[in-house]
Structure 1
Amino acid sequence: MTNDMYDFAIVGGGIVGLSTAMSLGKRYPQARILVLEKESNWAFHQTGNNSGVIHSGIYYKPGSFKAKFCRDGSRSMVEFCQEHGIDHEICGKVIVATDEQEIPRLENLYKRGLENNLTVQKISPEEVKEIEPHVSCVAGIRVFSTGIVNYKQVCLKYAQLIQQQGGDLRLNTKVLKIAASGNNQVLETNNGNFESKFVINCAGLHSDRIAKLGGVEPKAKIVPFRGEYYELTPEKRYLVKTLIYPVPNPDFPFLGVHFTKMIDGSVHAGPNAVLSLKREGYKKTDFDLRDFAEVMTYPGFWKLAAKHADEGIQEIIRSFSKAAFVKSLQKLIPEVQAEDLVPTHAGVRAQALMDDGKLVDDFLIISGQNSIHVCNAPSPAATSSLEIGKAIASQVPQQSHLETVVIS
């Protein structure tokens, strides 16, 4: 079969892959650009199952890619939504301490917000109640720039703009093998072969495997964590006006269960964070032997599990006990009762983990032979997608046969 030839081939049709393709199309207007997605729709996995929050960047270490991309990305995402008529709202959020022991951590978070050049405000319990009347706390901070959006709609607009640029979008096309052909790369798929001068791996939950297909050792393994949510019944949505977060444990990589107002008016509560027995395991019963075996035989996982055993046990209990889940939520809103909550969709987070048990805390982007591999792009990747796409496009070596347009 004759290979189709492209200048750039992007593996993965989530928000990072689509943003990267769009940025490349702006930078190289004459380039032939291909996006391959194994599912039948764009944003099928992480992007399409996240909380829809436009994050501010308050949690991230100053100077990190996460902090910079998120701060800049929240602004560019809002501008993009305004330009293209995508529903969004800058509702802000409150982060609250529910006991005195959490106040030092809340203070540290406030200082981090200032270091990240965010508009944040310390607020008293009385001031919290003016924003969120049903919250119980001893102190809080308000983050003004946090917003909400439907990232599936964002991705559909990205895809439309890529097509307008002349890009080639292929759904239901799974990469099975990557082979060198001179200076080019041949991507063998279930729908034929495609040849490209440069490959960009944005495969999310499978990014480490795609990297290995391309001859790159990512030095980290993707370990999937499922985040399970409940949704407030319609008659109880009045309990939440914006977004309500607890003070996170700085030693644990997740933010804790919280309340999120969605752009459609619903209110989600969660998530917990439990090991998924399948990389695309959205239900407790989902299981894949290869995925499970890879985690169970990976030394890094057991080192992580030993370090966070207590937190991990609590997350598992919340997964199987609605009463335990509700108890965690009641620390924020005491009025919430079990009958006020119904299960809703779960999401799976692709978390890169090192051999020594350390989580890859920042974006991990690795260069290979005529390739770039995005091997860790956790939250706030959706918020940061426009900035990540531009950054990746700027890292692509100059293509001498293509005219370059500088994009800001």
Structure 2
Amino acid sequence: MAHTASILICGAGIVGLTLARDLLAAGYGDILIIDKEPEAGRHASGRNSGVLHAGIYYAPGSLRAQSCLAGNQRMKEYCEERGLPLLKTGKVIVARDESELPTLRELHVRATQNGAKVELIDDQQLAEIEPNAKSAGLALFSHYTAVVDPKAILKSIQAELLASGKVKLLFDARFQGLKHEKGARLLVRTTAGDISCAFFVNAAGAYGDVVAHAFGLGKDYQLIPFKGIYKKLKPEKAHTIRGSIYPVPNIKNPFLGVHFTRGAHGDVYLGPTAIPAFGRENYGLLSGIDSEAFSILLRDAVLFFRNKKFREVALEEPRKYSFTYFFNDARRLVKTLSPDDIEATPKAGIRPQLVDIKKNELVMDFIIEGTQNSTHVLNSISPAFTSSLFFSEMLLHSHVEPKLRKL
């Protein structure tokens, strides 16, 4: 036996780390977090845009809506208390033409129902907030949207956990399966050896479905990857964007479209795309494509023919590999932008999107499943980072602690 723990968390991303933090606060110890990478947050948690969303897009009553705004407020407080980078810039969502005005108004209704501070503004007000943004006469201003440095937050939480002496992190430890159950404990197989634990939490992000399947859960779900690529404004042009400028999205899909974001350190990024990818870590053109590519391609093909929303994404997004197409998409949001203003960046991310394989539908909310001695978080998509400090507490009290008390 290589390791033992009372509570084993699979995944050292934002969900795994914040849950461990809340477990400590609730008086639990002997916690082990494993991750297949050599450091925390190597994938979605450390590669996202850093935007703290403000509950605008999500259906009222959904887990995403319930956790987003409260998570936003807590994350801001966390950064302020610890002196971590934080930009309270707000953001504008602009209607690019009159056909988008009804959706913009619907977003205003959703955001208001979710408790966000938003207002519909005209072009004069838009110019005062974001001088280079343009609209078809109406935009939505989100007061609570902010920007953080995700890696700085991950590093800070990890330091907290290790300083407690009650949490250990084991890297280069890929989950390989549930070997067998022995008594009331679980025996989890990893590349770093077998681990005996009393309770298991699946916070594996892009591999959440794989881990859940090993426990006999999530059989109706499969994660498929979407690639987010970015461009960047040259430093001398960064001043043209004060905060964030977003388009009106198709709210039937879980993607927000190419947008401008001023990062916590002053860089301005354009993106991301939502291009169907062929690997859960397919960040480059070919890198990250592995033996799973065929099954991902097959699932994409089924969705393409059976799901209109996915088909629209699959036909539209790959065009953004073309700089001209990407540029033209971004240019619709601003008054002035030249191809010479933009430079390449290695920044890229993968959004692991959960699909209901029986319904052939993209799942639009967080999914939580479990057994007597395990809890599994599936579809930890945006705004998972924003929501994390609230979501993890909800996860603890509703899905973890009641089971721990029975062990």
TM-score (norm 2): 0.94
Say if 2:304 and 2:310, in contact at 8 Å, map to a contact too. no
Q: Does 1:353 align with 2:358?
A: no
Aligned to 1:187: 188
Aligned partner of 2:9: which letter? Answer: I
Aligned partner of 2:350: which letter? Answer: V
Partner of 1:51, secondary structure, is: coil
Percentage of matched positions with identical amino acids: 33
Aligned partner of 2:247: which letter? Answer: P
CA gap of 1:280–1:176, structure 2 versus 1, over 3 A, is same
Aligned partner of 1:20: which letter? Answer: L
Aligned to 2:69: 71
Say if 1:123 and 1:139, in contact at 8 Å, map to a contact too. yes
Aligned to 1:103: 101
1:317 maps to which of 301, 316, 319: 319
Partner of 1:312, secondary structure, is: helix
Inter-partner Cα distance in structure 2 for 1:365 and 1:76: 22
Inter-partner Cα distance in structure 2 for 1:401 and 1:62: 33
Aligned to 1:283: 284
Inter-partner Cα distance in structure 2 for 1:70 and 1:250: 16
Aligned partner of 1:64: which letter? Answer: S
Aligned to 1:405: none
What's the offset of the Cα at 1:3?
Answer: 4.7
Q: Does 1:399 align with 2:401?
A: no
CA gap of 1:168–1:207, structure 2 versus 1, over 3 A, is same
CA deviation string 1:299-348 (max 9, x = no partner):
753346654434422211112x1011110111111421212111221110
Alignment: residue pair count:
399
Inter-partner Cα distance in structure 2 for 1:349 and 1:94: 23
Inter-partner Cα distance in structure 1 for 2:403 and 2:325: 54
Inter-partner Cα distance in structure 1 for 2:2 and 2:37: 22
1:301 maps to which of 300, 303, 307: 303
Aligned partner of 2:175: which letter? Answer: V
Inter-partner Cα distance in structure 2 for 1:91 and 1:104: 25
Aligned to 1:51: 49
CA deviation string 1:198-247 (max 9, x = no partner):
00000011111111222323421000000111000001112100110111
Say if 1:258 and 1:271, in contact at 8 Å, map to a contact too. yes
Q: Which runs of 5+ in 2 are unaligned?
A: none
TM-score (norm 1): 0.94
CA gap of 1:216–1:252, structure 2 versus 1, over 3 A, is closer
Inter-partner Cα distance in structure 2 for 1:369 and 1:400: 11
Aligned to 1:377: 380
Aligned to 1:178: 178
1:83 maps to which of 81, 84, 94: 81
Say if 1:35 and 1:169, in contact at 8 Å, map to a contact too. yes
Aligned partner of 2:80: which letter? Answer: Q
Aligned to 2:120: 122
Inter-partner Cα distance in structure 2 for 1:148 and 1:263: 6
Q: Does 1:366 align with 2:365?
A: no
Aligned to 1:337: 338
Inter-partner Cα distance in structure 2 for 1:181 and 1:217: 23
CA deviation string 1:237-259 (max 9, x = no partner):
12100110111112332111110
Inter-partner Cα distance in structure 2 for 1:4 and 1:282: 33
Aligned partner of 1:129: which letter? Answer: A
CA deviation string 1:150-201 (max 9, x = no partner):
1111111111111122101111111212122222111122222211000000
CA gap of 1:19–1:99, structure 2 versus 1, over 3 A, is same
Inter-partner Cα distance in structure 2 for 1:388 and 1:260: 24
Inter-partner Cα distance in structure 2 for 1:107 and 1:400: 46
Aligned to 1:406: none
2:40 maps to which of 34, 39, 42: 42
Aligned partner of 1:347: which letter? Answer: G
CA gap of 1:177–1:360, structure 2 versus 1, over 3 A, is same
Inter-partner Cα distance in structure 2 for 1:360 and 1:28: 34
Aligned to 1:26: 25
CA gap of 1:171–1:244, structure 2 versus 1, over 3 A, is same
Aligned partner of 1:327: which letter? Answer: N
1:60 maps to which of 58, 61, 74: 58
Say if 1:301 and 1:353, in contact at 8 Å, map to a contact too. no
Say if 2:8 and 2:31, in contact at 8 Å, map to a contact too. yes
Q: Which runs of 5+ in 1 are unaligned?
A: 403-408
Inter-partner Cα distance in structure 2 for 1:152 and 1:304: 38
Aligned to 1:240: 241
Inter-partner Cα distance in structure 1 for 2:351 and 2:119: 30
Aligned to 2:167: 167
Mean Cα deviation higher: 329-338 or 308-317 = 308-317
Inter-partner Cα distance in structure 2 for 1:300 and 1:178: 30
After TM superposition, the runs of 4+ consecutive aligned structure 1 residues lying more than 6 A away are none
Inter-partner Cα distance in structure 2 for 1:270 and 1:4: 42
What's the offset of the Cα at 1:359?
Answer: 0.9
